[in-house]
């Protein structure tokens, strides 16, 4: 089966994510999260990518980023995934015992407007939505916690946002997304479908060859004629 098309254009905004194989845990202890943040820092030093929001969960992670060169997100994500896999196997002595990740990462383009804020809220409240904390800012392995510190902890990860955070950002993150917003983000994450206004989505899908992400998946249902219809005909 051919791979689904993926956008990776310089200057675009993207939500990228990946999960453990069979949804298995990939961060078992605080040191695992710390090690992955160091990998992110190393990758940001190597590749021309800006990281705006992120959140690490026990069995997956989310990143909101902008590649500054065509194809740079793919190179960045490939290095992050490959380096983490290698170091994970070395630390846990699991080499040859299966994949760390279930597949290559998923991603989708985001319109540079209010949709960017919706995705960042979705990412930064992920631990709260999963019931791991009582307040979104309590989850240490996230851009929200990091942003709220007086000075960004080492290693540095976050770039200045393309638009300033909305007023009362911490409160906004703690408020649930609407059902429509949540469904739209989840659909885009699942299909790789651009997230934005209808006209923007149609334009970017056409320009970046993502029309297939807009169509329902699966084969078209074949309707077999009723025997009675054949007899009557």
Domain that holds residue 61: 13-232
Scan for tokens 């917003």, then name that residue.
Answer: 181
Q: Nearest CA to 14 among 72, 51, 66? A: 66
DSSP state of 134: S
Q: Which of 39-53, 154-168, 209-223 has the lowest mean pLDDT?
A: 209-223
**CA distances (Å), 198 to each of 4, 152, 164, 202, 205, in order?**
21, 37, 24, 6, 10
pLDDT category of residue 113 using cuts at 50, 70 and 90:
very high
Q: Which residues of 179-213 are buried (b: 16+ CB within 10 A; e: fewer)?
A: eebeebbeebbebbbbbbeeebbeebbeebebeeb
Number of domains in the chain: 1
Are 128 and 139 in contact by the 8 Å Cβ rule? The answer is yes
Let me know if residue 70 belongs to a domain.
yes
Let me know if residue 2 belongs to a domain.
no
pLDDT category of residue 230 using cuts at 50, 70 and 90:
very low
Would you say residue 229 has pLDDT above 50?
Answer: no
Q: Tell me, what CATH number does 81's domain have?
A: 3.30.70.1290
Between CA 103 and CA 105 the distance in angstroms is 6
Would you say residue 98 has pLDDT above 90?
Answer: no
Q: Give, rounded to a whole angstrom, the gap between the first and last alpha carbons of the chain.
A: 40
7-30 pLDDT tens trace: 899 999 999 999 999 889 999 999
27-37 pLDDT tens trace: 999 999 999 99
187-228 pLDDT tens trace: 999 999 999 999 999 999 999 889 888 876 555 554 545 545
Let me know if residue 25 belongs to a domain.
yes
Let me know if residue 4 belongs to a domain.
no
């Amino acid at each position: 089966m051919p791979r689904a098309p993926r956008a990776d254009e310089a200057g675009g905004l993207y939500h990228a994510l990946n999960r453990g194989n069979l949804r298995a845990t990939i961060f078992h202890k605080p040191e695992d999260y710390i090690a992955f943040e160091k990998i992110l820092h190393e990758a940001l030093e190597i590749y021309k990518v800006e990281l705006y929001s992120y959140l690490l969960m026990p069995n997956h992670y989310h990143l909101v980023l902008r590649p500054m060169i065509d194809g740079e997100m793919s190179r960045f994500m490939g290095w992050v995934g490959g380096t983490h896999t290698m170091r994970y196997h070395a630390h846990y002595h699991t080499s040859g015992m299966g994949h760390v990740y279930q597949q290559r990462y998923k991603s989708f383009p985001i319109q540079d407007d209010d949709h960017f804020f919706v995705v960042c809220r979705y990412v930064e409240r992920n631990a709260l939505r999963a019931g791991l904390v009582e307040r979104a800012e309590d989850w240490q392995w996230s851009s929200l916690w990091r942003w709220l510190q007086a000075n960004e902890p080492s290693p540095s990860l976050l770039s200045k946002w393309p638009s300033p955070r909305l007023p009362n950002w911490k409160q906004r993150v703690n408020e649930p997304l609407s059902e429509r917003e949540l469904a739209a983000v989840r659909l885009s994450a699942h299909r790789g479908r651009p997230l934005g206004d209808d006209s923007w989505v149609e334009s970017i899908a056409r320009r970046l060859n993502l029309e297939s992400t807009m169509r329902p998946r699966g084969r078209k249902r074949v309707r077999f004629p009723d025997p009675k219809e054949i007899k009557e005909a």
